[in-house]
Structure 1
Amino acid sequence: MEKQYRTTKIKSRICWFVALVLAFAALAAAVLPFFFMVINSFKGKFEMLTKGVFALPDQFNTGNYEEVLSGGFVRYFGNSVLVLCVSLLLILFISACAAYPLARFKFRLNGFIYATIVACMAIPIHITLIPVFQMTKSLKLYDSIGAMIGPDVAFALPISVFILTSFMAGIPKEIEESAEIDGCNKYRMFFTIMLPLAKPGLSTLAIYNGVNIWNEFSFAYTLTQSPKNRTLPLAVWDFQGQYSMNTPMIMAVLTLTVLPMIILFIFAQDKLVKGMTAGAVKG
Structure 2
Amino acid sequence: MATSPVTRAAGRVAVPVLGLFWLAVTTVPFLFMVMTTFKTQQESYASSVWALPEGLNFVNYADVLSGPFLAYLKNSVMVVVISVLLIVLISAMAAYAFARMRFRFNEALFGLIVAGMIVPIHITLVPIYLMTRDMGLYDSPFALVGPYVATSLPISVFILTEFMRQIPKELEEAARLDGCGPFAIFFKIFLPLSGPGLSTVAIYNAIMLWNEFIFAYVLTSSTSTRTLPLAIWDYQGQYSSNIPAILAVVTLTSLPLVVAYAFGQEKIVKGMMAGSVKG
1:186 correspondence with 2:176: no
Deviations 1:122-162 (A, max 9, x none): 11100111000110111111111111111000000011111
Among 225, 230, 243, the alignment partner of 1:229 is 225
Instruction: Please say if residues 235 and 241 of structure 2, whose CA atoms lie closer than 8 Å, have aligned partners that are also in contact.
Output: no
Corresponding residue for 2:91? Answer: 95
Deviations 1:75-133 (A, max 9, x none): 00110000000000000000011110100011111011111101111111001110001
Aligned ranges 1:263-282 → 2 under 5 Å: 263-282=259-278
1:55 correspondence with 2:13: no
Instruction: Please say if residues 121 and 151 of structure 2, whose CA atoms lie closer than 8 Å, have aligned partners that are also in contact.
Output: yes
Deviation at 1:217, TM superposition (A): 0.6
Among 68, 78, 83, the alignment partner of 1:82 is 78
Among 222, 240, 260, the alignment partner of 2:236 is 240
Deviation at 1:53, TM superposition (A): 2.7
Q: State the identity %.
A: 53
Deviation at 1:43, TM superposition (A): 1.4
Matched residue type, 2:242: N
Corresponding residue for 2:114? Answer: 118
Corresponding residue for 2:34? Answer: 38
TM-score, normalising length: structure 1: 0.93
User: Hey, which of these two has a bigger chunk of helix by percent?
Assistant: 1
Among 60, 66, 71, the alignment partner of 1:64 is 60
Number of residue pairs matched? 279
Corresponding residue for 1:152? Answer: 148
Aligned ranges 1:168-207 → 2 under 5 Å: 168-207=164-203
Distance 1:255 1:176, change over 3 A: same
What's the secondary structure of 1:195's corresponding residue?
helix
Among 240, 247, 250, the alignment partner of 1:254 is 250
Instruction: Please say if residues 160 and 198 of structure 2, whose CA atoms lie closer than 8 Å, have aligned partners that are also in contact.
Output: yes
Deviation at 1:16, TM superposition (A): 2.6
Corresponding residue for 1:215? Answer: 211
Structure 2 residues not aligned, in runs of 5+: none
Q: Distance in 2 between matches of 1:137 and 1:154?
A: 17
Instruction: Please say if residues 200 and 271 of structure 1, whose CA atoms lie closer than 8 Å, have aligned partners that are also in contact.
Output: yes
Deviation at 1:280, TM superposition (A): 3.8
Matched residue type, 1:246: N
